[in-house]
Amino acid sequence: MSLEQIRWRKLGLVYHKGLAQEWMGSYGANPIAGEVDDGRVQVYFNYRDEKNRSHVAWANVDLTEPFAPVVTDVSDGPVLSPGELGTFDDSGVSLGSLVETETGMFLYYIGWNLGVTVPWHNGIGLAIRRPRSATFERYSPAPIMDRSAEDPLTLSYPSVLYKDGLWRMWYGSHTRWGGETEFEHVLKYAESADGIEWRRRAEPVLRPLLQDEYALSRPCVLPEGRRLYMWFCSRGDTYRIYEATSTDGIDWQRTRHEPTLDVSDSGWDSEMTCYPFVFQHRGRYFMLYNGNAYGRDGFGIAIADSTAG
pLDDT in tens, 152-187: 999 999 999 999 899 999 999 999 998 766 789 999
Percentage of the chain lying above the pLDDT 90 cut:
83
Among 35-44, 53-62, 158-167, which stretch is predicted with the lowest mean pLDDT?
35-44
Q: Where are the beta strands (DSSP E) in the chain?
A: 8-15, 26-37, 40-48, 54-62, 70-74, 92-101, 104-114, 120-129, 137-138, 155-163, 166-176, 184-192, 198-206, 215-224, 227-235, 239-246, 252-254, 274-281, 284-290, 299-304
C-alpha 175/C-alpha 173 separation (Å) is 6
**pLDDT confidence of 36, banded at 50, 70, 90?**
confident
Residues pairing with 47 in the sheet:
55
**pLDDT confidence of 308, banded at 50, 70, 90?**
very low
Architecture of domain 8-304: 5 Propeller (2.115)
C-alpha 299/C-alpha 12 separation (Å) is 9
pLDDT attached to residue 2: 65
**pLDDT confidence of 1, banded at 50, 70, 90?**
low
pLDDT attached to residue 309: 43
Beta carbons within 8 Å of 287's beta carbon, 6+ residues apart: 8, 231, 241, 261, 276, 277, 278, 301, 302, 303, 304
Pick the closest to residue 53 from 79, 27, 16 (CA basis): 27
What would the pLDDT profile of 179-238 be if each residue is shown by its tens digit? 766 789 999 999 999 999 999 999 999 999 888 899 999 999 999 989 999 999 999 889
For range 284-294, the mean pLDDT = 96
**Helix or strand (DSSP H, E) at 305:** none
Domain positions in the chain: 8-304
pLDDT attached to residue 103: 86
Please state, rounded to an integer, the average pLDDT across all residues of the chain.
93
